[in-house]
Amino acid sequence: MGVWESLRIEVPAKEVASTGGRKHVCVTGNWSLLGSWLVRNLLEKGYNVRCTFRTTVDEAAALMALPGAEQRLELTQADLLDYGSLVEAFMGCDGVFHTSSPSDVISNYSPEMADFEVRGTLNIVEACANSSVKRLVLTSSLAAMVWDQQRHAEKVIDEKCWSNLELCRSKKLWGPLTKTMTEKAAWSLARDKELDMVVINPAIVLGPRVFGTTQNIFTYLKGVTELPQSGLFAYAHVEDVAEAHVRALEATEATGRYICYETVVSEEKLVELIRKLYPDSKIPSRFSKNGVPHVLSNEKIKKLGMVFPAQQKLH
């Protein structure tokens, strides 16, 4: 049993009663842990959802089996590099969620991903600015904030922090590099176009998929080659990250960036957790067991009403 199965009890989704003035939203991206949970959350809240996921026939059928999907979920095709297809997908939508690059697998990025993600995200921003969209909620990553050798460990990492691009290039950290470049480019264009954009910067996203396997700590660690300085390892439950996105759309006062995480784990604690969850697994030698975690702040996102129930359960 993975860590999240031991912390959360799955509750069947309940259909939301029909209400007038229901909003239309679009969720862009691929078949990711976060994206599928976001679609589920929106349907539960009564939204009409247009989804541009690139899915298999089986995955599409699974999405359409969600409560409310038959009446309020539309699956369509859109290419991030095709501006016209994005404008068409956003037609009539009040809000857009761009979750194209799953923040839970940033360790698997290649050097070529940066150009693709930057261009695709800029197309999203441009299409939103030239359509009915009132707010864009963009998924970035905590990785766009924490990689900076000039930052002292005792300094609190908050929404003003950015990862250092040269450091990311020198260490070949293509995931953090891509996330940082993409978010900075998106902010620049959004301000130029006067588009209302809010960014969620989640930590590592873990939890059960809406359909299929669970993304747990060890699944993620199999792809990690290096931790940020001082052993920073923070994570959040996918259900909470999806809820944070919806609140970022709904809250009129939402603005700027929002760090979303539940718990920060030191390398020593991480090794203990791996041994507890996976006693037969070999501990990766890259973990020195003496890292001191950075101090992160998620106070801003709590002002949107977010609470993290699992935060006390791993201590």
Q: What integer is the mean pLDDT of 195-211? A: 89
Q: Is 117 helix (H, G, I), strand (E, B) or coil?
A: helix
Q: What is the DSSP string of 81-92?
A: T-HHHHHHHHTT
Q: Are 127 and 83 in contact (CB under 8 A)?
A: yes
Assess if residue 281 is contained within a domain.
yes
Assess if residue 221 is contained within a domain.
yes
Least confident of 18-27, 79-88, 175-184, 294-303: 18-27
pLDDT at 264: 82
CATH number at residue 300: 3.40.50.720
Assess if residue 170 is contained within a domain.
yes
Assess if residue 201 is contained within a domain.
yes
Assess if residue 251 is contained within a domain.
yes
Residue 236, pLDDT > 70, answer yes
Q: What integer is the mean pLDDT of 264-286? A: 69
First vs last C-alpha separation in the chain: 19
What is the percent of the chain with per-residue pLDDT over 90, rounded to a whole number? 50
Q: Which range of residues forms the domain containing residue 97?
A: 24-312
Assess if residue 71 is contained within a domain.
yes
Number of Cβ atoms within 10 Å of the Cβ of 30: 14
- Residue 134: active-site member: no
Residue 194, pLDDT > 70, answer yes
Question: Residue 221: what are its φ and ψ, rounded to 5°?
Answer: -65, -25
Least confident of 48-52, 232-236, 252-256: 232-236
Mean pLDDT of all residues in the chain?
81
pLDDT at 220: 58
CA angle 34, 40, 44 (to 5 degrees): 140
Residues 6+ away with beta carbon under 8 Å from 58: none
Q: What integer is the mean pLDDT of 237-242? A: 93
Q: What integer is the mean pLDDT of 275-303? A: 71
Structural domain total, the chain: 1
Assess if residue 189 is contained within a domain.
yes
- d(Cα 302, Cα 122) in Å, to the nearest integer? 29
Amino acid at 95: G
Assess if residue 14 is contained within a domain.
no
- Set 160, 179, 269, 313: catalytic member: 179
What is each CA distance from 150 to 154, 155, 234, 259, 265, in whole angstroms?
12, 11, 20, 20, 22
Residue 178, pLDDT > 50, answer yes
Total-model pTM = 0.85
- Summarize pLDDT for 81-116 with one digit per residue, the tens: 999 999 999 999 999 999 966 554 556 678 888 899
